[in-house]
Amino acid sequence: MACLFCAIVAGDEPAHVVLEDEHVLGFLDVRPVFKGHALLVPRVHVDTLLELPDELTVPLFSAARRTAAAMTSALGAQGTFVAMNNVVSQSVPHLHVHVVPRTKGDGLRGFFWPRTKYEEGEAAAYAERLRQVLVA
Ligand code: DGP
């Protein structure tokens, strides 16, 4: 199946481009949370963060950082929300980093992040399970 963001990278689909370099394209999200909301994508097709090669990690997140900085200097944002959906809630299966300009009192709530609590000892158990895989 054709990839929408590959088509944007190729110039076959229109987009309001905000950043372009050798590895990364940045363009406005067509359904912005706030005006200026940008998406940063690797030019090569990568489904999710898990498939992102190390050599593209710095270029992609450097582009996200530069875009976040531009939200302040160019748009007058006070801050940013930087996020990425992987598989779950990911509507376009080409890795993309959302960079959303934020201003205090803008009304954005953590509506999709209902918080939970650890039971006694549970946090240590979760941390240990992750450490077993991450700390070789
Ligand atoms: P996500 O739900 O995290 O996979 O985000 C996908 C985003 O892609 C969503 O915020 C809307 C945006 N989007 C969908 N179709 C298009 C399009 O054709 N052009 C642009 N610029 N953005 C799109």
Note the pLDDT tens digit of each residue in 83-97.
999 999 999 999 999
Token reading at 104:
């205090």
pLDDT of res. 110: 64
Answer whether 56's CB lies under 8 Å from 46's CB: yes
Q: Is the pLDDT of residue 14 over 90?
A: yes
pLDDT of res. 109: 78
Ligand 1 touching residue 48 (CB < 6 A): no
pLDDT band for 133, please (50, 70, 90 cuts). confident
pLDDT-wise least confident of 4-18, 34-48, 111-125: 111-125
Q: How far apart are CA 136 and CA 122, in angstroms?
A: 22
**Of the CATH numbers 3.30.428.10, 3.40.309.10, 3.30.360.10, 3.40.50.2000, which one belongs to the domain with range 4-134?**
3.30.428.10
What distance in angstroms lies between residue 94's CA and the mean position of ligand 1's atoms? 10
> Cβ neighbours of residue 108 under 8 Å, at least 6 residues apart?
33, 34, 81, 100, 102
Q: How far apart are CA 134 and CA 123, in angstroms?
A: 16
Does 133 or 15 have the greater pLDDT score? 15
How, if at all, do strands 24-28 and 38-42 pair? Answer: antiparallel
Please report which residue ranges of the chain form alpha helices under DSSP H: 4-10, 54-75, 122-134
Q: What average pLDDT score do residues 39-43 get? A: 97
Does 51 or 111 have the greater pLDDT score? 51
Q: How far apart are CA 27 and CA 125, in angstroms?
A: 41
Q: Is the pLDDT of residue 113 over 70?
A: no
Q: To test ligand 1's pocket by mutation, which of 3, 13, 30, 112 has the most ligand atoms within 8 angstroms of CB? A: 30
Token reading at 69:
């900085």
Distance between first and last Cα of the chain:
38
pLDDT of res. 112: 64
This prediction has a pTM of 0.93
Q: Is the pLDDT of residue 40 over 90?
A: yes
What distance in angstroms lies between residue 104's CA and the mean position of ligand 1's atoms? 25
- Mean of all residue pLDDT scores within the chain: 93
Q: How far apart are CA 26 and CA 82, in angstroms?
A: 13
pLDDT of res. 111: 59
Token reading at 116:
């939970």
